[in-house]
Structure 1
Amino acid sequence: MIRFNALSKQYQLGHQIVPALQGVSGEIRTGEMVALCGPSGSGKSTLLNILGLLDMDYQGEIWFQNKPYPKSAKEAATLRRSQLGFVFQRFNLIPVMTAQDNVAYPLHLNGYSKQEQDSIAAEMLERVGLADFISHKPDNLSGGQQQRVAIARALVHKPALVIADEPTASLDSQNANMVIDIMKSLGHEMNTTFIVATHDSRMADRCDRSIQLLDGIIQEEVTE
């Protein structure tokens, strides 16, 4: 699915150059759910942002489905829109939109008709257990419900890869376990690859594999 080789990234803080990634390499297979783990400052969010095409200022090489990652902003936007989905800690739902419209938004960006958008979004909300909440706006949903809407939105256009940044960090145990179950079952069913940056052992323990980072270097990979 995705291979990366000798990825490096530096940040400049005043006159000081701070390395965020130091030549990391790895491979993530189709349909895997892989956790990126490590303390704050370990490089996991930087790696996640690079693999999600949210940060294109890096050194090294990445291949996605055996093709090099795009180098131009336009090509990156096209690939993100068609092949990637995103789940964030703070949900990032559009507050003025209903759950159904939030989920339908990637379909809108990919040129689906309004009828197709509504039908497919409603089906995805049913699959995450929110069929009765399609008309609710985010402020009228609990945190766990909002994250399930976000998962439905990430998967609605059947992306090859979903990038998830601390998806359970703001949830209690019951909601966190429900979100993990949904991500894992739908990801395996749809053969969608998940890359998850997390501090949460509940999340990491349920992934197929964990990649441990420290000071921008991969320390080890653990298969669950």
Structure 2
Amino acid sequence: MTAVLRAEALSRVFSSPSGDVVAVRDAELAVEPGELVVIAGKSGAGKTTLLTMLGGLDRPSSGRVLVDGIDLADPATDISALRGARIASIFQTGGLIPVLSAAENVEVPLRIRRVDPDERDRRVADALRSVGLEDHTRQRPGELSGGQQQRVGIARALVMAPGILLADEPTAQLDSETGAQIMDLIARLVHDSGTAAIVATHDPAMLQRADRVLELHDGVLRRREQ
């Protein structure tokens, strides 16, 4: 099976008054459809930096990222269009808009892409049903629990049927039981939809849901030793 997301010799160096700081060093990664890859590492290990480069939000200092074989650094690449069509993200807090209902939050990327209203309604309903929130469509984020808010964030990420899902510490703000439920949900949806997913976490309880675990330590990405 061909990898839909690939990183080749990916590095990111930040300049500081005290000298250069290497956040990620020569990372190599290939993720296939339907694969859930967890990147483990302590806070400050460079996980967020790696995800932002993989998602096209930050340019590497060297190396390259390929999405469906398309080089994100190529001047001819429309990164915004590629992100909108192929890449979705889940954040620690869900990143929901407080004044919108659960359904309206999930609907946002569909409106941006100008999806037909009837199709939009169907896809929003399907997405909320897939995360078990079909009875909470009209509630706003403040009326939902932390776990429910994260489920809305997952539904919003998956409503566009992305080929790639990036999740940065999606369970960090949740208790251990709710966090385990969220990771179980992500794993099920990824495997059912054939989405390639990369989840960054420092929570050791999350590793057992992964198809593959990599560890980022001092900027170096490597397979986690069992």
Corresponding residue number in structure 2 for 1:184: 187
Q: Retained in 2: the 8 A contact 1:56–1:71?
A: no
State the shift of 1:199 in Å. 0.6
Q: Does 1:111 align with 2:117?
A: no
How far apart in 2 are the matches of 1:57 and 1:31? 26
The letter for the 1-side match of 2:87 is L
Shift of 1:15: 4.5
Secondary structure of the structure 2 residue equivalent to 1:91: coil
Task: State the aligned residue count.
Answer: 223
What is the match of residue 175 of structure 1? Answer: 178
- Structure 2 residue runs without a partner (length 5+): none
Contact 1:2 1:28 in 2 (8 A): yes
Superposition map of 1:18-167 within 5 A: 18-72=21-75, 75-167=78-170
1:210 equivalent in alignment to 2:213: yes
Q: Which amino acid aligns with 1:24?
A: A
Identity %: 39
Q: Structure 2: how far apart are the matches of 1:10 and 1:24?
A: 13
After TM superposition, give the deviation of residue 6 of structure 1 in Å: 0.9
Contact 1:52–1:163 (Cα < 8 Å) also in 2: yes
Of residues 111-120 and 121-130 in structure 1, the stretch that sits farther from structure 2 once superposed is 111-120
Deviates further, 14-23 or 206-215: 14-23
Residues 137-181 of structure 1: CA deviation (Å, up to 9, x unaligned): 101100000000000000001000011000011111221122112
Q: Distance in 1 between matches of 2:111 and 2:135?
A: 22
Alignment check: 8 A CA contact 1:34 1:208 kept: yes
Q: Which moved more, 1:197-206 or 1:148-157?
A: 197-206
The DSSP-based 3-state class of the residue aligned with 2:135 is helix
Which segment drifts farther, 39-48 or 1-10?
A: 39-48
Equivalent residue of 2:107, what SS?
A: helix
Aligned mates of 1:94, 1:222 — CA distance in 2: 40
Distance 1:53 1:132 in 2: 35
Higher mean alpha-carbon deviation, 69-78 vs 25-34, is at 69-78
Superimposed CA distance per residue, residues 43-84 of structure 1 (whole angstroms, 9 cap, x where no aligned partner): 221111100111124310222222222545981111111111
Offset at residue 202 of structure 1 (A): 2.0
